[in-house]
Structure 1
Amino acid sequence: MLADHDEVWFRNLYAETYQPLLAYARRRVDAATADEVVADTFLTAWRRRDDVPDSSERLWLFGVARNMIRNAARSSRRREAAHDRLRLVRPAEVDDPAAPDTGERSTLITTALAALSEADREVLMLVAWEELSHAEIGQVLGISANASAIRVHRARKRLAARLDRLDHAGIDEGKAQ
């Protein structure tokens, strides 16, 4: 009986607040992000239905959406910063005519990352994109901070080796032409 009550409550909440919540989110972020924010907000409401205050549901949802928008903005900034850091892993020498331009370097990094194992990519992304410490990565992966540090170190070495191979292959192709 309680499950039926929860379902009715949620359906009513959704019907009453979906459009205003979506409008709120779309005024602050792009449409795709707004759609995700609203979906995640309602998911949170369902999961935490016992925490939603009676007669203040709408305001609570707006607070949840606001926090999710802020999280999305932080994630976007982290992604951009990580992309910039990855682009600068081994910056090209300014005077080196054989050095790839930024677009080529970005392609090399993407290619090198794709060639790594899923585990290596995951730890590198947790460090670069999510800016997690070794201890935090350890918690995410269910390993010790020391094991996390070792995995990150080894993944960085493998990435650097792949980049070196790709750089040399590009230079050799340039000489052959």
Structure 2
Amino acid sequence: MSSSPAEPVTADPDAPRDDAWFTALFHEHATSVHRYLLRRAHTDDVEDLTAETFAVAWRRRDDIPHGFELQWLFRTAGFLVSNHHRKKRATPVEELPERDTTIDPMHDVIDDEGLKQAFRQLSDRDREVLLLSAWEGLGASDNAGVLNISSNAASVALSRARSRLLHALDGDVSDTSSPR
């Protein structure tokens, strides 16, 4: 194995979806997927969810659109997190957590209490759009790939989510409850 970075997956659209392609996909995007999951799942589950995301990617490698690999991986990871949260896991009484585990762990990184409260007032969709933009660093076209909507719709969704967050920060909760 060489010490040079792997050739980007998006470099050759005609490359066969073989072991080398998958290795390059993994090396190029594993850290981003892991970070994405760290903000959405319990720390103890992140390694398994990351591995499961790439297992799905291997099984469905022919379905991954060229040039949108990261967006596809984020979307798949999001589905896996949603399914994971739906599962009921028994918690032994001896191991009760000290904090409220019903609150999404990604909210713990927000130190400003006002921002935290405003963020919690937003819909799940608005939070996801803002997080994809701010934390994952995705632009409108990349958000569109993750959310499975057009680039224009993603731009509008981001603009509206930012506006609702600003209203919530100002204490105007009426606009945060509007349909999305």
Structure ranking higher in helix proportion = 1
Report which of the two structures shows the higher radius of gyration computed on alpha carbons.
Answer: 1
TM-score between the two structures when normalised by the length of structure 2: 0.40
TM-score between the two structures when normalised by the length of structure 1: 0.41
